[in-house]
Structure 1
């Protein structure tokens, strides 16, 4: 891979907030050219890679009100650049929690220190959040003071250790880790993105999942993870009565041995210490909606509108959804709401121009009804009918449940000291972009 020429962070007006140039081959007008190129595209035909007549290639990604831009004039590995951009944004989110223009302006020193570590003359280097966190701290917006390491000698010893980690074969885990009780926790989170038509038909549906591990294991443990992966059973020529999953896309933490997975569909790894994302995956699905919402709107007279909402849960009766919020759009000029519902709590969310119907718990295979009445002004506002174009949206969380049927079959831990490790697994399904059309 050829090194990049420069990296830039721009605000939503296209102005440079942070920049680091590694090559002398960039013209002074490159940012102005990039901004002009972006104007040529609208939100429906934007391209993540743009080239100009001067031989510059612009590779960028938007995040909140920021644009992360890499410019190169060489034959650069584009996928490597995108992987770096995503990882660099993840590092900044790890440090600042909320990554936006204000947090970037407040942390110039830290970001430039991070750029010194993650890029060396335009080549990606260390991008692991845990490694970086050991010697770049954000509490005081500067490198950690000597007192954190226990004095000057201790500081030099620790910096040397983490420098060695960064260049070692297992750069993500130091040696000498010890725990009294050896445990590893796996949290399987699935977000369901679903678009449902007004008749209840599913237009689009997919699951975005990730497996977050929290390793509290001593020494250098070697872990083997077994999933109900359809491709694995096909590879070994074994049939099973259990439900299997055909994963569409899978992404692994760098600790996973990719060659082992590609050849044998086995997930083996030496985990980092502490919490990290082990796996992320995407699965297209064809399932019945977890929640079905029917809305009947009547207008008995010009100054009054009546809305009846029926919500039903379609998942198993033994499962329970927590913190369920259903947002039903209403005309922008409604007034004086009156609600009737035996279950849940209903309010008028004026900021979202919607009814918010909330449940602390919504048990599977249950159906509830809510009725509300609004007054309307005699003179209709220009945007009164806009609500018909806005879908119903639902927020929810279902513990101990996965839509896809994802299952951890086993998690084996082997370490040369021979200790017994306790694995724990938890499953949670949440809403992603879950929408239901009303009209």
Structure 2
């Protein structure tokens, strides 16, 4: 598997080029004999996987064998003569079904030949609503002394649209470029980078005045994603004190600190701390939450269901080391953290407005939600003497720390 991960997704062989992606245990491969846009091919392959997932729920070898005929029909409709055609799963499902073969083939919906190929006409809802989620994932790598070595924010704007007719939506964000055009450069704004839109967005309008204008697909879809290469202050910081007693036992003192505003709360926090491979007989004591040993991952996990901002918590772990093995440097394997913070964005992005325009003039309710979650979030552990425990707990309640020392 390690050798496979080193393969380039683009392979030239004689007079042919192979472009592939991997999903689960399946390779999806495209071949070409001309100088083509490889980024376009890969985008199509990812879209192909997405459509298959909409049809089969799971994309594996078995689902491909069981649905070979449907896959053949989908490929025939999604690409003609090497050019992508209809790639919206919701539209394809209107005339490519998983039912048995019929003598009269169903007619493709008008959306296939219309300018708006991602939305069918005649959609009606009794209650018109739009749900918009701004979800940001924080990728971070920091060393033991608090220096952030690498960080970025990956954002997604996802929508669930339940609107009648052919509505036009206009979304305004606190985009830095837009604010500068309007003479409001001093206002709090976010400089979006590497922005990618759904095909429904009018790109020319966005380039002109940074307005995101579109006729949305029906149901759930991803409107846009973006990336911010910026130094992110760790939202949850971990300090670990480790003492190893020459092949007999190892002890950990862990301090977790939330470094976001007090009015926010991180939910379902998981702090994954690595241990030596030969560790056993675990003992844990935590000031909050619960701790579980996961030997298959050679780590233990500290679960905290609710972690308010501006708080510090302590946990102590003890393991026996029964076997005689070479010293393992704990600092090589970082601590991993999982979390989700609702009603909060790291970048500060905000939805300024979401307008819904439809010729019938009906009233619609827009709902906006913000979520920040972990991406690849890691903090390296340092080798620290256990006698420095006093420094670790200097800002924590002394009583709480003393209780953790008593087994």
* TM-score w.r.t. length of structure 2: 0.88
Distance 1:297 1:102, change over 3 A: farther
Deviation at 1:144, TM superposition (A): 6.3
1:90 equivalent in structure 2: 50
Aligned with residue 427 of structure 1, among 358, 370, 383: 370
Q: Is the 8 A contact 1:329 1:388 kept in 2?
A: no
Separation (CA, whole Å) in 2 of partners of 1:386 and 1:325: 23
1:171 equivalent in structure 2: 117
Q: Does 1:49 align with 2:42?
A: no
Of residues 299-308 and 124-133 in structure 1, the stretch that sits farther from structure 2 once superposed is 299-308
Separation (CA, whole Å) in 2 of partners of 1:108 and 1:277: 28
Separation (CA, whole Å) in 1 of partners of 2:330 and 2:226: 34
Q: Does 1:438 align with 2:381?
A: yes
Deviation at 1:161, TM superposition (A): 5.3
Aligned with residue 117 of structure 1, among 54, 59, 77: 77
Cα-Cα RMSD: 2.2
Q: Is the 8 A contact 1:232 1:265 kept in 2?
A: yes
Deviation at 1:361, TM superposition (A): 0.6
Q: Is the 8 A contact 1:131 1:172 kept in 2?
A: yes
Deviation at 1:100, TM superposition (A): 3.3
Aligned with residue 217 of structure 1, among 163, 173, 190: 163
Q: Which aligned pairs between 1:396-435 and structure 2 lie closer than 5 A? A: 396-435=339-378
Separation (CA, whole Å) in 2 of partners of 1:277 and 1:43: 28
Q: Does 1:391 align with 2:351?
A: no
1:353 equivalent in structure 2: 298
Separation (CA, whole Å) in 2 of partners of 1:287 and 1:227: 21
2:280 equivalent in structure 1: 335
Separation (CA, whole Å) in 1 of partners of 2:239 and 2:282: 20
Aligned with residue 263 of structure 1, among 208, 211, 225: 208
Q: Which aligned pairs between 1:65-104 and structure 2 lie closer than 5 A? A: 65-104=25-64
Aligned with residue 107 of structure 2, among 140, 144, 160: 160
Structure 2 counterpart SS, 1:111: helix
Q: Is the 8 A contact 2:268 2:306 kept in 1?
A: yes
Q: Is the 8 A contact 2:130 2:367 kept in 1?
A: yes
Distance 1:403 1:121, change over 3 A: same
Separation (CA, whole Å) in 2 of partners of 1:173 and 1:135: 14
Q: Which runs of 5+ in 2 are unaligned?
A: 383-407
Q: Is the 8 A contact 1:205 1:286 kept in 2?
A: yes
Separation (CA, whole Å) in 2 of partners of 1:388 and 1:101: 39
Note the alpha carbon deviations across 1:159-193, whole angstroms, 9 max, x for none: 4352x211111111122122222211101111111
Structure 1 counterpart SS, 2:362: coil
Q: Which runs of 5+ in 1 are unaligned?
A: 1-11, 13-38, 147-151
Note the alpha carbon deviations across 1:54-79, whole angstroms, 9 max, x for none: 31122222223222211111232333
Note the alpha carbon deviations across 1:68-92, whole angstroms, 9 max, x for none: 2111112323332122112112212
1:22 equivalent in structure 2: none
Aligned with residue 195 of structure 1, among 128, 141, 157: 141
1:35 equivalent in structure 2: none
Note the alpha carbon deviations across 1:228-268, whole angstroms, 9 max, x for none: 10011223333353x21111111111111011112221100
* TM-score w.r.t. length of structure 1: 0.82
Aligned with residue 128 of structure 1, among 77, 81, 88: 88
1:59 equivalent in structure 2: 19
1:251 equivalent in structure 2: 196
Q: Is the 8 A contact 1:136 1:144 kept in 2?
A: no
Distance 1:144 1:428, change over 3 A: farther
Separation (CA, whole Å) in 1 of partners of 2:310 and 2:56: 42
Q: Is the 8 A contact 1:332 1:353 kept in 2?
A: yes
Structure 1 counterpart SS, 2:52: helix
Distance 1:92 1:387, change over 3 A: farther
Structure 1 counterpart SS, 2:107: helix
The structure 1 segments of at least 4 consecutive aligned residues displaced by more than 6 Å after TM superposition are: none
1:8 equivalent in structure 2: none
Separation (CA, whole Å) in 2 of partners of 1:106 and 1:386: 48
Q: Which has the higher contact order (CA 8 A, sep 6+)?
A: 2
